[in-house]
Structure 1
């Protein structure tokens, strides 16, 4: 009886050509334990609990504006935390994969999928973190007796920074892949500083690190320092939001293309 020795073992095609969804699911499975998932789950809780307690003791609380103070300060912190989280998570995730990549890059799997999968997986964790923040803000509204009427644009103010911040995740993963952990954390620090110092300036659109914070300002009606803005302030112009979304989408696509190219040429 003759055997076809050239025939591939069962499942080889699937193993060497997994879908992007499979790669993302594998990345998420690998992040079930360790610092990164716990950070994404607990960071919103850690920042909101003391901020709510502080809001209870504020002078505005006596005027029945406890939730408004809590919401504004929380969203201010969140706007600068999104890029900081992107840099930190990317740095730790890529560093943890250095040994695994020595094996994975030897397979016939299209290498670019590893990069896209990591960005997407960290993006999913960011979405989970944003959802936890929304839950905490909702609890604050309930405890203040202002749910749901005071929620207003809170949902948009929570999720839009995450959506715009995907560009920072892609940038941080690319920097971590090319230059290592330190520069990737530097991306997060730059995002924190630019969110606080540049997001309300006229040239904010030229500084990607400031984009997550910029979409928060008109929705929450606050400046980068958490102080409510006057109604005639140009910072409250909502036209900055679609512009930031378009810029972030374009940058994300460009970074994914560059990242795929880099992974395809990366030496084992």
Structure 2
């Protein structure tokens, strides 16, 4: 499997998909830096509600286009290799890219906090925990978006995943049924970790959304959905034929 991942990584060499790993978190840090003392608060809220879902969607779509644009996967489908492994390796590579982007985002916001507002109430340890949870809670979007990109194309994937992510991520996160809406998981889990409400404001002391009991449930649901989508989409890709 490692050789498959290395091969997929070579395909992305000098592509915009790989550059996005650096561009997306840097853009977030620069935009949040404009807000001064609210750098940490806005830097994370904008990241997990808008920019990070957009990054995942665009990255998966661009990686799909590497195969789709010129040969429509004709260079892959006829090969005597496991197509499931090819598909899974793409997903794992994107997971590495998304993790790297989140770590760079954490480093940038931490540096901004140190330089601009060392007294910010959100500690670096909280940001590190939030970054780890964000990576885990967003993994399910990778196979889902890769499937959407392969099946419907870049624009449809962007409209469906990013549109639903922005609307449902904010609206459903404060409801009792938040656990039933995958798009609300990251936003809901950030409430007890960072103390930030879905609308981007700091939660008042004693707010019900600060209950940390939702974190284990959200993580378990995220991992379960990721594994389900990984297996389902890999089996679907295995049945693809050259057209």
TM-score calculated relative to the size of structure 2: 0.90
Write out per-residue CA displacement over residues 215-243 of structure 1, whole angstroms, 9 at most, x where no aligned residue.
Answer: 22211101112111122212111121111
Paired with 2:11 and 2:189, the residues of 1 have a C-alpha distance of: 32
| Contact map agreement 2:60 2:142 (CA 8 A) in 1 | yes
Q: Which residue of 1 aligns with 2:219?
A: 245
Which aligned pairs between 1:24-173 and structure 2 lie closer than 5 A? Answer: 24-55=5-36, 66=37, 69-80=38-49, 81-98=51-68, 99=71, 101-144=73-116, 146=118, 150-173=123-146
| Contact map agreement 2:24 2:55 (CA 8 A) in 1 | no
TM-score calculated relative to the size of structure 1: 0.82
Q: Which residue of 2 aligns with 1:200?
A: 174
| Contact map agreement 2:35 2:42 (CA 8 A) in 1 | no
Paired with 1:44 and 1:72, the residues of 2 have a C-alpha distance of: 15
Paired with 1:216 and 1:157, the residues of 2 have a C-alpha distance of: 6
Q: How far apart are 1:96 and its partner, in Å? A: 2.1
| Contact map agreement 2:11 2:66 (CA 8 A) in 1 | no
Aligned length: 237
The gaps in structure 1 that reach 5 residues or longer are: 1-19, 56-65
| Contact map agreement 2:149 2:156 (CA 8 A) in 1 | yes
Paired with 2:75 and 2:226, the residues of 1 have a C-alpha distance of: 27
The gaps in structure 2 that reach 5 residues or longer are: none
Paired with 1:112 and 1:179, the residues of 2 have a C-alpha distance of: 20
Please identify runs of 4+ aligned residues in structure 1 that moved more than 3 A: 147-150
Write out per-residue CA displacement over residues 178-202 of structure 1, whole angstroms, 9 at most, x where no aligned residue.
Answer: 3332332221321122222222222
Paired with 1:213 and 1:122, the residues of 2 have a C-alpha distance of: 21
